[in-house]
Amino acid sequence: MTDRPFISIEGIVKRFGAQVVFENVHFGIRQGEFVVLIGHSGCGKTTILNILAGLDTPDSGAVIVGHEAITGPSLDRAVIFQSHALLPWLSVAGNIAFAVRSRWPKWDREAVHSHCQRFIDLVGLTGAETKKPAQLSGGMKQRVGIARALAIQPKMLLMDEPFSALDALTRGNLQDEVLRLCAATHQTVFMITHDVDEAILLADRIVLMTNGPYAKVAEIVVNTLPRDRSRHDVHKHPHYYPIRNHIVDFLVERSRRFDEELKGRAYDPMHPSEVRPGIVDPTLAVRNPLPISVTAARHDLSVSRN
């Protein structure tokens, strides 16, 4: 992972009619980094993901990948949606092969089969190659979606709340799979979620959006937990609850009154503050800090998904 952003979101704005959903959104994603965006419904999370995928366009600003602006969909960017989006008449192998042939149309059948099998094995679906989507559980369908996305070897993987419709046990198992796969492939990932614990488990950095309309990036939380974390014991790390409490406090309180906090204070949307909850040294805890004082709740709070 390098310090130079691989993907640069530069001042994007989105309007629907006269309504400004978000404005002047800036942040970067380094190659090999896992970045999660969190915010309440209506702040434009999915719209930002669609802009990164090339499925939507900003009204102003740009998204730069490498040295080129995104102008439309590309096989360099794979999307995993909330629903599995599988072709029901194709088997597990057929769904993955469909994407692989789109990426490498000149490959022969044996090359396609070998490549698909590698990713079927990688997501733990060995033996299910010939099954149709109707014969699969919800978790297995999402595994096919993950395998299909990884099989085209995208420069960036975009995930739109991919586990939100799954039961808790399946969701946890797939989170473990994503951790393992990203460690194995060094995949660059941008994900949106409402789940604070999921964000802490998976992300290197967590982008916090204020409430819409006129949503903006409030700050970026740097996840200081060790990268080889596990959902079974991640809560035991001394940084876990400071990070969690900071994010929950933002979602419950600060996200709706952020503009009030900014009155009379400097705010540079091009350089959002990076905070490191749990780091005692004040010179390391905040980069480009806003002079605000927030005491995070010390209780186990649940966050509304409305």
User: Could you tell me if 196 and 109 lie in one domain?
Assistant: no
Q: What is the pTM of this model?
A: 0.85
User: Could you tell me if 106 and 44 lie in one domain?
Assistant: no
In a domain, 304, yes or no: yes
User: Could you tell me if 67 and 190 lie in one domain?
Assistant: yes
User: Could you tell me if 229 and 298 lie in one domain?
Assistant: yes
In a domain, 258, yes or no: yes
| Tens-place pLDDT, residues 80-96 | 888 778 999 999 999 99
In a domain, 167, yes or no: no
User: Could you tell me if 133 and 274 lie in one domain?
Assistant: no
Report the domain count for the chain.
2
The last residue of a domain, from among 153, 168, 202? 153
| SS (HEC) of the chain | CCCCEEEEEEEEEEEECCEEEEEEEEEEEECCCEEEEECCCCCCHHHHHHHHHCCCCCCEEEEEECCEECCCCCCCEEEECCCCCCCCCCCHHHHHHHHHHHHCCCCCHHHHHHHHHHHHHHCCCCCCCCCCHHHCCHHHHHHHHHHHHHHCCCCEEEEECCCCCCCHHHHHHHHHHHHHHHHHHCCCEEEECCCHHHHHHHCCEEEEECCCCCECEEEEEECCCCCCCCCCCHHHCCCHHHHHHHHHHHHHCHHHCHHHHHCCCCCCCCCCEEECCCCCCHHHHEECCCCCCCCCCCCCCCCCCC
User: Could you tell me if 189 and 65 lie in one domain?
Assistant: yes
User: Could you tell me if 238 and 124 lie in one domain?
Assistant: no
In a domain, 169, yes or no: no
**Which band of pLDDT confidence, cut at 50, 70 and 90, is reported for residue 286?**
low
Q: Is a pLDDT exceeding 90 seen at residue 283?
A: no
Do residues 277 and 245 make contact, with C-beta atoms less than 8 angstroms apart? yes
In a domain, 170, yes or no: no
pLDDT for residue 294: 33
In a domain, 81, yes or no: yes
User: Could you tell me if 223 and 262 lie in one domain?
Assistant: yes
In a domain, 163, yes or no: no
CATH number at residue 195: 3.40.50.300
CA 173 to CA 7: how far, in whole Å? 29
| Tens-place pLDDT, residues 193-244 | 989 999 999 999 999 999 989 999 999 999 999 988 888 888 889 999 999 9
| Tens-place pLDDT, residues 65-82 | 988 899 899 999 999 888
User: Could you tell me if 196 and 273 lie in one domain?
Assistant: yes
CA 90 to CA 97: how far, in whole Å? 10
User: Could you tell me if 63 and 89 lie in one domain?
Assistant: no
Determine the structural domain holding residue 193 and report its residue range. Answer: 1-72+180-306
In a domain, 164, yes or no: no
pLDDT for residue 305: 40
User: Could you tell me if 98 and 67 lie in one domain?
Assistant: no
For the segment 176-183, the average pLDDT, to the nearest whole number, is 85
User: Could you tell me if 30 and 45 lie in one domain?
Assistant: yes
